[in-house]
Amino acid sequence: MNSDAGPGRESASVLERVERFVWGGPQQAQPGWQHHLSQFLRLIWAVGRDVAEGQITLRAMSLVYTTLLSLVPLLAISFSILKGFGVHNQIEPFLLNAMEPLGERKEEIVERIVGFVDNVQVGVLGSVGFLLLFYTVISLMQKIELAFNDVWQISSRRTFAERFKDYLSVIIVGPVLVFASLGISATVMSDPMMARMAEIQPLGSIIEFVGRLVPIAMVTVAFSLIYMFVPHTRVRVGPAFTGGLVAGVLWNLLGWVFAGFVAQANRYTAIYSGFATPILFMIWLYVGWLILLLGATIAFYRQHPEYLSGRQLSGHLSHADRERLALQAVRLIGERYYGAGSPPDAETLAQALRVPANAVEMILAPLEVRGLVASTDASPPGFLPGCPWERASVHDVLDATLQAGRDGRFRHSSAGVGGPVDGLLARRDRLLAETFGNVALKSLATGEALDADGPGLSPETRARAPS
């Protein structure tokens, strides 16, 4: 009798088959429907893995805390702006709609929030008080940007001037656009002609169905715009809309589920007394931020499917991969530069090399330090030669990549230990310098040097190369 047979072994076999189907084999060889199904399963697998690792949930919890501190100042500033446009009375209906999953408790929460906002009189705060109020709102937006940058694996941040300009635009223009769209939607749906059309069947059923889709569509558009403009990188419309659509559907679906939970939560009132409502409010805030970050994660994977197998791909590159990517990136930068094209940014290089953007940034960082590559002041920054590439060599790139890969936390002293070994390594370094030190970067970029025998540098020129 085979002792290995049984339910446990059978379930393990099923999991192995699923894993082989999701990750096994090149997708180019799969039929169309299998390719799309495999991509979908990889996306679900990757998002589930990220949630299990805990970074998304930690970010969501952090944003809940920051939101509690910044909600009243944000609404106070929005109230002051909207008051100038005469639409400040729309804040309370907007909050009631956002708190819909809280059921009957939404009125209590909104009443308290609006009461706090009414008590904040910007005119009597003084300059210091207004600056503190403004700083609280800015800190919320900065935390949101950091959370999205973490999802998108972006290490660079907006400059102070960019933050001031972008955040100010969101604070001033954002509330106006939101409440203007809400006002237009309400006006259209309450129009007498629309009411008469709703009495005609089947047109009335269609209008009712569209009316139910309008909230999902508005949330989807809002989330898509957030995914496009908040991360400090260029996000394409397609991935942003995909993430926004999933987040919009989840927002409405989980809102309906949460409303059912709140309706059955009377026993929590007996336990927590007056704290039950604030606790439920914080739980809904957490669910909302979690939905928003999940949508951002889906948008990220849609734009960067190369990350599906592992988020920190750049940290696992071998030294040979680093050298190859560095030379390929240099070639692409040089092709743009000598071809009078615009400097490519990390995203453009990542798409051309089929690697994550943070891998490109990691590869180019030591070349920037060595002065071989420079970044522009654009947002996002582009890359171009940092010195005349006629007097810089391929060996300079390889040496900069090698030095960057050495961990300075531990240095092995070979004194009296590895004499013959050190001699061999020194010979290798000398041969590399003689071979690749004679190949100019410009020759590599312009296609004149596809092997070690191409146009090279004179010893005098190599002596003036950046070090």
Residue type, 25: G
CATH architecture for residues 313-406+422-463: Orthogonal Bundle (1.10)
Cα 60 from chain centroid? 14
* Token pair for 250: 């989840």
Burial, 440: exposed, middle or buried (Cβ in 10 Å; 0-12, 13-18, 19+)?
buried
Q: Whole-structure pTM over 0.85, yes or no? A: no
Q: What is the pLDDT of residue 196?
A: 67
**Residue ranges covered by each domain of the chain:** 53-307, 313-406+422-463
Angle 223-227-232 (CA atoms, 0-180°, nearest 5)? 150
- Which regions of the chain are under pLDDT 70? 1-35, 80-91, 94, 116-130, 172-199, 201, 203-204, 207-211, 265-274, 309-316, 405-419, 449-467
Q: How many residues does the chain have?
A: 467
Q: What is the pLDDT of residue 155?
A: 72
Q: What is the pLDDT of residue 36?
A: 73
160-198 residue pLDDT tens:
777 777 777 777 666 666 666 655 555 555 666 666 666
Tell me the C-alpha to C-alpha distance, in Å, between residue 419 and each of 46, 116, 390, 431, 433. Answer: 48, 75, 37, 19, 21
List, as one string, the DSSP characters of 10-71.
HHHHHHHHHHHHHHSS-GGGS-HHHHHHHHHHHHHHHHHHHHHHTHHHHHHHHHHHHHHHHH
Rg of the chain over all Cα atoms, to the nearest angstrom = 29
